[in-house]
Amino acid sequence: MKNILILGGDGYIGWPTAMHFSRKGYSVTVVDNYFRRNIANELKIKMLYEVPSLVERAKLWFEETGNEIKVIIGDLTNPILMRSLFTGEGLIFDWSINPLTYTPDTVIHFAEQPSAPYSVMNYETANITISNNLIVTNNLMFAVKDLAPNTHIIKLGTMGEYGTPNIDIEEGWINIKSNGREDTFLFPRQAGSIYHTSKIMDTDLLWYGVRTWNLRVTDLMQGPVYGIETEESLIHPKLKTFFNYDEVFGTVINRFIAQAVINYPLTIYGSGNQSRGYISLQNSIECIYLASLNIPKAGKLDIYNQIMETLSVREIAEIIISSASELGYKVQIQNIKNPRSELEEHYYNPKYSKLIELGISPKLLNKDSIKQMIIEVEKHRKNIRKSFIFNGIKW
């Protein structure tokens, strides 16, 4: 039985990932400090439905499946806590049937402030984003270097690191010829927010650790994720992950679904021709699992572009409108002045073949998947607050 340590295990992707590995028979430990929940409370943001605490969810998972997910509540910017995850010294479990000291075979790193809009609200939120994200990553890197050099680190990156260059986006690396010489470098990054900039710095930190200490790292450049249910969450309704529809934590597809359900116009920023790569929640956790099976050699940084398709915001809106109309909803588009500093007309052609070649079966955005989401969100329609959808955070 392999040991999986998930940092940020309470999150939108973290919790479904924990269930996925647990169901497959892995020994899973999750760590979180409710960072995202606390920010949402501070900003008075409500989710579509209430989500039990991490401890409560782990207990429910055990009751329903007989599989244990160990829980530790703590702040991973504390290097002592991070290092204790590899030594067991002073480690306190908030939920565990049989706490054991072990070295994790794989560490999956989600433990970061995940919102681009939050990161640019003001200098304080920018500082919180940079300090949290980089210190956690640095603590992890040194803990693995010092205590578990063979442990595989999987870090969740973002396609937003690349920006929208006027050339094809390769999967992490690019060959450059200059003055008769040639070498391979990390693909140039040009982030559009403080959050995305912190993720670039994460990549650079881990690339340093790989080059210098022969660490084994996989960096997953993930696009915006959408969806509610996964195979594991269908076991019990209280095992569902977060669903945000607000402008701080709600990704565009999830946000548009909620707007459609309450007949709120789909708020397209600017022209709506901004293109990005997207992936379903189910595909996301499947990709993470597949990455865990393909361990890089020591001293190697593997990078995968974790998306399944590219779409413009307008294309997304049109698919949602068409799907919603078949369910009796009358939804319209409202173009609003773009609060973001971004190109609305741009070239966008990322490569994303590696995970598909490894065996992922893409789940694409279509009417059936949209309808399923609409039907699920409709169950919680009374909880949706229009005031959360758009307040014009500028960046």
Residues recognised as catalytic: 158, 195, 199
Q: How far apart, in whole angstroms, are the C-alpha atoms of residue 105 and residue 151?
A: 5
Output the six-digit token pair for 115: 């919102």
> Alpha helix locations (H) across 262-352?
281-293, 313-326
Count of Cβ atoms closer than 10 Å to residue 218 Cβ: 24
For β-strands 333-336 and 106-109, DSSP reports them as unpaired
Count of Cβ atoms closer than 10 Å to residue 93 Cβ: 15
Q: How far apart, in whole angstroms, are the C-alpha atoms of residue 349 and residue 276?
A: 9
Neighbour order of strands in the sheet with 309-312 = 225-226, 275-280, 309-312
DSSP 295: P
Buried b (16+ CB within 10 A) or exposed e, 126-147: bebbbebbbbbbbbbbebbeee
